[in-house]
Amino acid sequence: MNAKTRSTLATLPRETNENRLFVQTTQMGGTAAYLSSVTLEWLDRRVGFASELPLFQPHLDRQTQNVERGAHTLESIVQRPLDWSRQAPLAQYLATRTAHKFPPLLVVLSPAWVDEPDAPQWNWEGRAIQSAAEFLPLDEGDRVGWLEVSPEVQIYALDGQHRLMGVQGLMELLRSGELQPYNKLKKTIGQPIALADIVEKYGIDAESLQCLGRETLGVEFIPAVLPGETREEARRRVRSIFVHVNLMAVPLSKGQLALLDEDDGFSIVTRQVAAIHPLLREEEGRNPRVNWDSATVAAKSTVLTTLQALKEMAARYLEPQFPHWSGDRRKGLIPRRPEDNELQAGVVAFSKLLDGFANLPSYQELEHQETTALRRFSFEEETGRGNLLFRPVGQIVLAQALGGLVSRSGLSLETIFDKLQRYDGEGGFDGMESPRSLWYGVLYDPNKRRVRVAGRDLAAKLLIYILGGAEDRMERAQLRKALAQARTFENKAVSFQGRFVQPKEVGLPEVL
């Protein structure tokens, strides 16, 4: 590159302004597009949602900013409904994460004439005689140039409307000092999130936060109408682009999120422990024990658990020790990555929990038996054991109960696992489909003959009780009532002996 070319290029940023952007062109699938970068302040001021177009104004829900679904709008809508519950978390992400990053937005340029059928830009056939994008090339190949984005041109987000919502939330937070969280339908929930609380919680310099509006984000502009298109053809093209952009982007599973998350302390601890712990690590000569992607274990799968279940185990066990890893729910603040020394302490604590799991009699059987027969119910497989410990929900329940016990009862983890080894050795976790099991009706639904995830919290309380962690009489009375209710079907409760009895006749088992 010679000195003249460098000098010319150096002047381009100075000539860029609010109403004219330096862009590079792209051409794909018959649609010209223009790549540029803009500040977050500019994005907040100039880019809106598709629902704000004049076309939709008579059919707009003013509360949610969503277009009413109906016969009169179905063929014109180009986007999914806005989910306003996402605004506060996204705005906080931008404010609190040092290495925050949003992918580029795909936006549509729509000058006023697009919505005026009698405008001179349409010919007698109703076809556009020019593009909705006013582009001035600077080279012979039309590869770079200026894109006119005057205030008369409406710009709306086609892909990235929730990223835009997050940017708008951030700018509102910086301008007013607070941001009101919403539910999906933009109804206020909880108290406003205060900028002062974010500064205090995360130790962020207030002045540096105010600079966030000058950060830049990539934007790709496409014209609402191309030369030769009718208004209907243009609408179809824009809607088709939105569908295919989202169709090709497969969302991450919960397991993949846990695998990749570098801010959630529980995910980080889980990944580190799952890779090296003897109970879970991959070893030659045995089937893998962790499903890294799916949140469920298939009926015939030989894995022991899932990464998502392990992450929930870590969260429920470690949260009493590291409550700030979950953020401040009372103030609506999201969590941030813990310090390395805290993460190491979490790794040690979670590893000790899994050491205890590995020494339970049920898990000792993994040395000579696959998980399938241990997990499946007796009516599914002749040798099925229906063992709770081979179901992700059971593993999470055990971790949740132990986390509560260790933090509040003063019992050591070693003492707790001594009791659990006796309980497991006596078949306490086996045969959950049998009325004799404590988990019948709680974690097993006898009507649907499947695991009942909704009973997870009650199951954790029952575990705490049998391990000696529920000494309050009122607490025990409420627990007995809840257990009786879980085992009641059509006004008749099922006793541990398998007989129909009155609910008040269902009692609690003995404490270990």
Averaged over successive runs of 10 residues, the pLDDT of the chain (512 residues) comes to: 55 69 87 91 91 55 54 45 87 89 92 90 93 91 91 89 93 94 89 90 86 94 92 81 66 68 85 92 89 83 92 94 79 77 94 96 91 90 90 95 86 92 94 94 93 93 90 88 92 91 90 86
What's the confidence (pLDDT) of residue 147?
Answer: 94
Q: Look up residue 412 and give its two tokens.
A: 């050591």
Cα–Cα distance, 74 to 239 (Å, whole number):
11
Residue type present at position 307: L
Q: Look up residue 447 and give its two tokens.
A: 């009507």
Q: What is this structure's pTM?
A: 0.71
Closest CA to 357 of 301, 407, 300, 397: 397
What's the confidence (pLDDT) of residue 146?
Answer: 93
What confidence tens digit (pLDDT) does each residue in 223-258 have? 989 999 998 888 778 877 776 766 666 666 667 666
For 57, phi then psi, to 5°, come to -55, -40
Tell me whether strands 153-159 and 47-49 are parallel, antiparallel or unpaired.
parallel
SS3 294: coil
Distant-in-sequence, close-in-space partners of 51: CB < 8 Å, separation ≥ 6: 60, 65, 66, 67, 79, 82
What's the confidence (pLDDT) of residue 73?
Answer: 40
Cα–Cα distance, 193 to 184 (Å, whole number):
17
- The answer to whether the beta carbons of residues 183 and 74 sit under 8 Å apart is no
Question: What share of the chain in percent tops pLDDT 90?
Answer: 52
Cα–Cα distance, 292 to 148 (Å, whole number):
48
What's the confidence (pLDDT) of residue 328?
Answer: 67
Cα–Cα distance, 318 to 314 (Å, whole number):
6
Closest CA to 450 of 256, 299, 266: 299
Q: Which residues pair with 489 in a beta bridge?
A: 492
Domain boundaries, the chain: 19-236, 252-358, 367-512
